[in-house]
Every structure is written in C-alpha cells, then in structure tokens.
Amino acid sequence: MALRLASFVAAAFLAFAPAAAPAAFFWKAPDLHGEPVTGTEPGVLTDTLPGATPAEIRAALVWNLRSGLNVAALQCQFEPTLLTRDQYNALLDNHRDELANAYQVLSNYFKRTDKKNGQTKLDQYGTRTYSSFSTVLGQYTFCETASAIGADAIFAPKGQLYKVAENRMRELRKSLALAGEQQFRFWVPPYTPLLPPFDDRCWKKNDLRDRKGCDWSWG
C-alpha cells in the first residue's frame, strides 16, 4: 500500500512539474553597443535614399528595425527562450500606428522620386532590406542581440519606436558579423604545413622519387 501511494505521489509530481527549460547561450557575447544613428551613416540602412527628407530617413530607419526583428522572429526559433517571435508579434500590435506611418512615408518617398516605378522600387527595397539581415556565421550574436532589442522595442512608448531604432540599429547591424567567446580568448599559433615537392621530376606516377631537391619542406 505504501509503495503504491509513493508511486502515485511521484507520478503526480512529475505530471505537474514544469518542463525543463531549453538550453540558452552559455557564453560571453561581444560588446556590440555603438553610438546612436540618424540613418545617414554608411551601412545602417539597406540603401541610401537620395533626396530623402529627415522624416523619410527616420521612416526607413524604423522599417529597417522592423525588418531585422522580423528576420530574427523566423531565424531564431531554434532558441525559444530568446522570445524573438513573441516579441515581434507584440511589436506589431504595440506600434501598429507608427509602423503603418513609416511604411506610408517610405512609400511616398519612392513614388515622389520615381512616379512611374515607385511601387516596384519600394518592393525591391523591402526585399533587399530583408536579405541584408540574413546571416549564418553570426547567427548567435544576431539572435541574442535581436532578442535584447526586441524587448526594448515592445516596451517603448507608443510613437517612440524610432528612438529604439536610432539607439540600437548600429548594434543590430554589427551583430551580423562572426564573433566568438569573449570570456576565454585562446591564442591559436600559426600553422605551417609540411608540403611535398610539386616538381614533376620528383614523381613517378603516385610515388615520390628519391632525388636531390625532392625533399618535403615546410610551406
């Protein structure tokens, strides 16, 4: 009876116990913080916008931030604790009006600068913006950085998402580059390979001949 009771208690405990949390990133990430931007700095926006007004540059900055966090929502689901997908969905809800305005301002810019092909250029700009946040080697730094920025974005007051973009877009762009563990820095000595001779006279089919000047050497 006691054994059955103990088994029942153990089963009940396991049934209601919280599931183990997914693994997190156990490393010291590089410090990617940078100075605030306006959107005119090289490499911050996907493309330069010739003749754009400050309001249009700001709209492009907000749209680039949204695009980067959208890519993170799709690309970073391998680590659920980063919450990039949930953050992005909350961003769309919390800042719906500012995002809609940014899109309209950006759309008007392309129509103003090219009345005939404005919509096509807007679509192309959007595609290039998404592509500019694609990364493989820098996935860990990008996802971790996007998660931190996404948290800032969803708690930013309505109408002030642009401030998050100004303060953290440089950081988001820098996160796309490969970076490794910062706590333990290992020195890897230069490697000099030992190479066989490449002169045809040193070889007979696949066999190395025993001739003068046909020795292995450090390359």
Q: Do 208 and 134 share a structural domain?
A: no
What is the model's pLDDT at position 192? 83
Our count of domains for the chain comes to 2
Q: Do 129 and 199 share a structural domain?
A: no
Q: Do 197 and 170 share a structural domain?
A: no
Q: Do 200 and 170 share a structural domain?
A: no
Residue 19 lies in a domain: no
What is the model's pLDDT at position 9? 37
Altogether, the residues listed in the chain come to a count of: 219
Residue 7 lies in a domain: no
Task: Write down the pTM of the prediction.
Answer: 0.70
What is the model's pLDDT at position 25? 62
Q: Do 100 and 43 share a structural domain?
A: yes
Q: In terms of residue numbers, what domain contains 100?
A: 37-174
Q: Do 160 and 75 share a structural domain?
A: yes
What is the model's pLDDT at position 183? 55
What is the model's pLDDT at position 32? 80
What is the model's pLDDT at position 213? 85
Q: What are the average pLDDT values for consecutive 10-residue runs of the chain, which has 219 residues?
A: 41 39 56 88 90 95 96 92 94 96 95 91 93 86 92 94 95 84 62 85 86 84
Q: Do 117 and 41 share a structural domain?
A: yes
